[in-house]
Amino acid sequence: MCGIVAYSGVRAASPILLQGLRKLEYRGYDSAGIAIHDGAKIQIFKQEGKVSNLVDTLGDYKTDPTHLNAHAGIAHTRWATHGPPTTKNAHPHPAGEGGRIALVHNGIIENYRGLKARLEADGRVFLSDTDSEVLAQLVDSYYDGNLFEALSSALKEVEGTFGVACMCEDEPGKLLVARRGSPIVIGLGDGETIVASDASAIIKHTRQAIYLDDNDVAVIEGDQVDIRTLDAVPVQRDLASIDWSADAAEKGGFEHYMLKEIYEQPEAIRNAIRGRVNLDRGTAVLSGLGLSPRELVQFQRLLIVGCGTSLNAGLVGEYAVEDFAAMLGEVEQAAEFRYRNPIVGSKDLVVAISQSGETADTLAAVREAIDKGSMVAGLVNVVGSTIAREAGRGIYLHAGPEISVASTKAFTCQVSVLLLVALKLARGRRMSREEGLRISQEVLRVPELVQQVIDTNDAIAKVAEAFTDYEHMFYIGRGYMFPVALEGALKIKEISYIHAEAYNAAELKHGPIALLDENMPVVALMNKGPGQEKTVGNVEECRARKAPVLGVITEGDEEARAACDFTIEIPACPHYTATIVATVALQLFSYHVARLRGCSIDQPRNLAKSVTVE
Ligand code: F6R
């Protein structure tokens, strides 16, 4: 939620800040703003809506001396939590006499009401409805010539989460950044430092980075970075090297990031499973888990936590661990897990799934599981993210940057890796080498099968044309294909705004079938595998009620085709890998429906890429 960029160095700050904001816009796009220090004073520019609106209000910042002379600045793109998405609520927030302090914030100040009441009682006037302005005013209330002291005093009083950047008129060229629960990465350049909420905003400038830990405060001036605790004790943080290419974070000729990311899946999955399959021994190699077969066999349950698309991937993991390893598998929505005093302990291997590695509920679930004595592993895409670091062990997805708000390649990489986790657990139990080898080979085939689906993109686009005018849809599937139905329904609703519900195909008759008529199309996962004939039977029932049916079927399955009004074909494969292959088909279907409906595909309304609030 919300993106922060900050710059101090030899170049003009504004173009770098704006370019960074564009990269971070997926984190929030309700409003945007920048504050620059021109050597004498701080100037703030902000605007409702996307970053392009902000650029329009700046005039020609590429030649305007105000901007050219400013070598330090902070910037923000907002996803509203407190107060509507208006210009007055946009960051940066000024505070103090003549606006001597400027501050941008990502996160939530939970005790902002009490702090605000106190500051108002001291005569302070607030210009916005945000919790973030309370932090800005609090910093100013402590300011007595030393911004570090003012910020750290303020942050000690704050309950909640923050990634924060601020500067002061009296300390030109100096930036202060800090974090608790919201990510901050500091990019170290030549004569300059670029700070951002994630690496995509800095890779154009540098590959050398430092990830702040919770309660770190960094004082930055040009290329000087001094990191301290809130009590001013100096701390060293490791230097990390960012290996994403700048191209990987660009659209590369595609109309939308989402389409690009769908097309990247064969390569992304190859990267996710590379070096992780041992064909000789018919097992998976997951050194990031740091657990030997002897240790793995001690676990009685695989407990998976996550949210949204990551939760749907987790469901496939549950099916696979029970199917392959005859071991108890369970998936839990991370927010439910954290708040219901879960029964979990040393016999559980807890796997937290997250693309961003920053989802607040998933992070809290990780902490709860650790506190309850469980072994926790992260299955995360973003290297150095909070969940990856706090879990302490885990498996990186290596999917590359996922920019489109709707998750695509992260899901297919998550499922690919979960299949390997299930395989590893199974081989330590009753699964034979031959069976392990067979599953390994099926997993290795996935990139090629996904490519085959992508090659049918034009046919899927054609099918999508028939579905653009509906306002509701059902998705149905059984067994392994049920999580695919959930993910398909999630994808269509978030990017096309068509209301969609997913059911186990058997569940229709227990109520939802009452809604079926010619205005309620049904997308059915009918590819060959266990339970397929039953799903075909359910499809007949849908058509008897005039519901138009789109079947995802196995190539050449004429019987299944005859039961449907429309079909999308996928190559033959076992249901456990079909979860990936069929999902790619549904991603493309959702993409084309949304495109034809003229939706904002990469940045759907009300959403943000990284959900760092509860
Ligand atoms: C849907 C989507 C979200 C995320 C969810 C968890 O397309 O992207 O449902 O999957 O917010 O995010 P991560 O995986 O970053 O924890």
CA of 333 to the centre of ligand 1 (A): 12
The per-residue pLDDT for 26 is: 78
Q: Which residue in the block uniquely carries the two structure tokens 């769908």?
A: 262
> Does the N-terminal peptide bond of residue 548 adopt cis geometry, omega within 30 degrees of 0?
no
| pLDDT tens-place string over residues 120-163 | 999 999 999 999 999 999 999 999 999 999 999 999 999 988 99
Instruction: Please state the rounded mean pLDDT for residues 342-371.
Output: 95
Mean pLDDT of 486-491: 98
Pocket test for ligand 1, best of 258, 311, 407 (most atoms within 8 A of CB): 407
For 529, phi and psi rounded to 5 degrees?
155, -175
Ligand 1 atom with minimal separation from the 382 CA: 15
Residue whose CA is closest, atom 10 of ligand 1?
A: 309
pLDDT of residue 29: 79
Q: What is the pLDDT of residue 340?
A: 87
Give residue 355 CA to ligand 1 midpoint distance, Å.
7
pLDDT, mean of residues 600-608: 87
Q: If you compute the radius of gyration of the chain from its CA atoms, what whole number of angstroms results?
A: 25
CA distance 609 to 90: 19
Rounded average pLDDT over 22-35: 89
Question: Which of 338, 385, 611, 614 is the pocket-test mutation for ligand 1 (most atoms within 8 Å of CB)?
Answer: 611
The per-residue pLDDT for 216 is 97
Overall fold of domain 456-596:
Rossmann fold (3.40.50)
Q: Is the pLDDT confidence value at 608 over 80?
A: no
Which stretches of 81-135 are assigned E, i.e. beta strand?
Answer: 93-95, 101-106
Spatial CA neighbour of 375 closest among 290, 310, 311: 290
Mean pLDDT of the 49-57 span: 93
Rounded (10°) angle between helices 575-596 and 409-427: 170
**pTM for this model (two decimals):** 0.81
Tell how far the Cα of 611 is from the centroid of ligand 1, in angstroms: 8
Residue 77 has pLDDT above 90, yes or no: yes
Tell me what the mean pLDDT of segment 89-96 comes to: 97
25 pLDDT higher than 80: yes
Please say whether the beta carbons of 90 and 83 come within 8 A. Answer: no
Q: Where in the chain is the domain with CATH 3.40.50.10490?
A: 271-453, 456-596
Q: Residue 308 Cα, ligand 1 centroid: separation in angstroms?
A: 5
- Mean pLDDT, residues 12-30 taken together: 91
DSSP string, 151-215: HHHHHHH--B-EEEEEEETTSTTEEEEEEEBS--EEEE-SSEEEEESSGGGTTTT-SEEEEPPTT
Predicted confidence at residue 441, as pLDDT, reads: 98
Nearest-CA residue for ligand 1 atom 16 is: 354
Helix, strand, coil shares, percent, the chain, to 5: 40, 25, 35
Q: Which residues are catalytic?
A: 2, 609
Per-residue pLDDT, 59: 85
| CA separation for the pair 489, 114 (Å, rounded) | 41
Quote the pLDDT of residue 170. Answer: 96
Neighbours of 175 (CB within 10 A): 27
**Residue ranges of the chain assigned to CATH 3.60.20.10:** 3-253
Q: Is the pLDDT of residue 249 over 70?
A: no
Ligand 1 atom nearest 611 alpha carbon:
11
Instruction: Give 248's pLDDT tier (boundaries 50, 70, 90).
Output: low
pLDDT digit string, tens, across residues 442-465: 999 999 999 999 999 999 999 999
CB 149 within 8 A of CB 177: no
- Mean pLDDT, the chain, integer: 94
Please give the backbone phi and psi of residue 78, each rounded to the nearest 5 degrees, phi first: -105, 145
Q: Which residues line ligand 1 (CB under 6 A)?
A: 307-310, 354-356, 359, 362, 406-407, 490, 494, 611
CATH topology of domain 3-253: Glutamine Phosphoribosylpyrophosphate, subunit 1, domain 1 (3.60.20)
Q: Band the pLDDT of 244: cuts 50, 70, 90.
A: confident
- Taking the CA atoms of residue 407, residue 409, residue 414 and residue 420 in that order, the dihedral angle to the nearest 10 degrees is 170
Q: What's the pLDDT tens digit per position in 266-283? A: 999 998 999 999 999 999
- Give the pLDDT confidence score for residue 484 in this predicted structure: 98
Atom of ligand 1 nearest to the CA of 411: 10
Query: Above 80 in pLDDT, residue 474?
Result: yes
Q: How many A from CA of 549 to the centre of ligand 1?
A: 28
pLDDT recorded at residue 256: 94
The rounded Å distance from CA 360 to ligand 1 centre is 11
- Best substitution site from 312, 337, 356, 487 to test ligand 1's pocket, by max atoms within 8 Å of Cβ? 356
Measuring from atom 11 of ligand 1, which residue has the nearest CA? 308
Please give the torsion angle defined by the CA atoms of residues 480, 483, 485 and 491, in that order, rounded to the nearest 10 degrees.
Answer: -140
Specify the ligand 1 atom closest to the Cα of 405: 8
Nearest Cα residue to atom 5 of ligand 1: 308
Please give the number of the atom of ligand 1 that sits closest to the Cα of 312. Answer: 10
pLDDT (0 to 100) of residue 1: 65
Cβ–Cβ < 8 Å for 557, 528: yes
CA of 357 to the centre of ligand 1 (A): 10
Given CATH 3.40.50.10490, say whether it is the number of domain 271-453.
Answer: yes
